[in-house]
Amino acid sequence: MAWPRVRLVVTADDFGYCPRRDEGIVEAFLAGAVTSVSLLVNGAAAESAAELARRHQIPTGLHANLSEGRPVGSARHGASSLLSPEGFFLGKMGFREAVAAGDVALPQVREELEAQLGRFRELLGRNPTHVDGHQHVHVLPGGPMPSWA
């Protein structure tokens, strides 16, 4: 009996978080242990990570982030249900609690995710190979992932 062909995809997320992490991810990709990466476009090293992905032809997706750091969309210029008074995302638990309480404005979620997709396209010059969520925000009730995801 012939077994069906199976392709294992191992994705390293948080690509763009910091240079040291990115170096390890690239090493794992070059060694064949990782098959794709998910880019955190608001990460401190997003630009250099995008360059590494281009240089090594790493299949790259968008690591949608609504919980850590600062936004890339228009929310960074004012008040938003996604942000603390200091202008940072609410954190993993803070975002989950805000969603559960109904305090997150879904149009603001959509706007931020579209801005992150736009930033991804700026950095890599193409659409992502996939989309996943930082700290699993894509599985929360309320469907925060937009229709393009």
Active site residue 13: yes
Q: Which residue in the list 13, 22, 103, 132 is annotated as catalytic? A: 13
* Helix axes 19-30 and 46-56, enclosed angle (nearest 10): 20
In the chain, where the domains are located = 11-137
pLDDT (tens digit per residue) in 16-29: 999 999 999 999 99
pLDDT (tens digit per residue) in 93-146: 888 889 888 899 889 999 999 999 999 999 999 999 999 988 867 655 554 444
Give the predicted TM-score (pTM) of the model.
Answer: 0.87
What percent of the chain shows pLDDT beyond 70? Answer: 91
- C-alpha–C-alpha distance, residues 83 and 9, integer Å: 33
- C-alpha–C-alpha distance, residues 23 and 62, integer Å: 18
- C-alpha–C-alpha distance, residues 128 and 16, integer Å: 14
- AA letter at 118: G
Question: Tokens 């990115």 map to which residue?
Answer: 22
Fold classified for 11-137: TIM Barrel (3.20.20)
**Cβ–Cβ < 8 Å for 44, 72:** no
Integer-rounded Cα radius of gyration of the chain:
16
Nearest to 127 by CA among 39, 61, 42, 50: 61
